[in-house]
């Protein structure tokens, strides 16, 4: 089997280093290049050595255009601004794209949709197989339990995480909204402070915790008079996300252009994401 040439964007970050190490340890993959933004102290460094793996003979570069053009897949866990630029380059080069960046706006996500007209794009808030299954369970539970069951999503991550609520928490809330048949933007509540009054019926609430080195914990709570159902996922190592992203990169080989997510990669949904209503995309 021919190795898949992969570029890792943001190779010096915590996830970037895990991705480099995972690519290096995956027999069917070849690290074609690694990038970091202008001014990064990691520019010029060997991405393998930086990640605690074997030397690759490569140097982390600032300009992604040439690397993306020479790759089969680019894996991007960076920033919204960088991801949009990488999506444009990938579409122009015919290079598949795997995106795990969180905090993307609707406009940013539209850029991925545009790129997906030309290349396969896998976009997921979380690349863990367990979270992928949790999304489906949450949607099913929300469909089965009416609005008498209040829904709250509690998430905790390490102190360095810059966005809140997490992308995974929002994906879980969107899954619940799809199950209920409601518009997520209308029913979500991300902040509670002061005299809030009684909770509105049907609201989907969020609570965010940050501290220490917590990799990622998510609880989806369905609470009503007399009982409470909690669906949970706890990640103890980032490697599960890196392994999922590399699995997604391998999965793109030979796929038609389209916007996909981890349910497609795991075979939980066979059809491309363009055939799914907008409300269900990226869940």
Q: Which helix (H) or strand (E) holds 25?
A: helix 14-25
User: Is 161 labeled as catalytic in the residue annotation?
Assistant: yes
Residue 283: CA atoms inside 13 Å, Cβ hemisphere, count?
26
The single residue listed with the structure tokens 């038609």 is 256
Rounded-to-integer distance, Cα 29 and Cα 56, Å:
13
> How many whole angstroms from its chain centre is CA 173?
15
Catalytic: which of 157, 218, 233, 247?
157
3-state helix, strand, coil in the chain (%, to 5): 35, 25, 40
> Helix (H, G, I), strand (E, B), or coil: what is residue 144?
helix
Q: Which residue has the tokens 């863990």?
A: 128
Report CA Rg, the chain: 19
What angle, rounded to 10 degrees, do the helices at 167-180 and 129-144 form? 30
Catalytic residue among 30, 158, 161, 184: 161
Whether residue 247 lies in the annotated active site: no
Report the relative pairing of strands 216-224 and 227-235 from DSSP bridges.
antiparallel
d(CA 9, CA 200) in angstroms, rounded, equals: 42
* Catalytically annotated residues: 157, 161
């Amino acid at each position: 089997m021919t190795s898949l040439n992969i570029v890792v964007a943001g190779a010096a970050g915590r996830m970037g280093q895990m991705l480099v190490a995972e690519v290096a340890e995956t027999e069917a993959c070849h690290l074609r290049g690694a990038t970091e933004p202008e001014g990064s102290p990691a520019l010029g460094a060997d991405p393998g050595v930086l990640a605690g793996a074997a030397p690759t003979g490569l140097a982390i570069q600032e300009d992604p255009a040439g690397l993306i053009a020479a790759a089969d897949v680019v894996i991007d866990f960076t920033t919204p601004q960088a991801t949009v630029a990488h999506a444009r380059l990938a579409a122009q080069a015919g290079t598949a794209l795997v995106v795990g960046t969180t905090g993307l706006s609707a406009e940013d996500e539209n850029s991925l949709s545009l790129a997906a007209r030309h290349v396969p794009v896998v976009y997921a808030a979380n690349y863990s197989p367990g979270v992928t299954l949790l999304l489906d369970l949450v949607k099913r539970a929300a469909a089965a339990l009416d609005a008498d069951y209040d829904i709250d999503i509690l998430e905790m991550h390490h102190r360095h995480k810059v966005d809140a609520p997490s992308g995974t928490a929002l994906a879980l809330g969107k899954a619940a909204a799809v199950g209920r048949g409601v518009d997520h933007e209308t029913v979500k509540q991300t902040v509670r402070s002061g005299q809030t009054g009684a909770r509105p019926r049907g609201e989907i609430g969020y609570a965010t915790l940050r501290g220490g080195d917590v990799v990622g914990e998510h609880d989806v709570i369905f609470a009503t008079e007399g009982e409470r159902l909690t669906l949970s996922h706890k990640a103890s190592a980032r490697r599960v996300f890196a392994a999922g992203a590399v699995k997604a990169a391998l999965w793109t080989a030979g796929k038609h252009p389209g916007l996909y997510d981890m349910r497609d990669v795991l075979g939980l949904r066979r059809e491309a994401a363009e055939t799914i209503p907008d409300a269900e995309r990226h869940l």
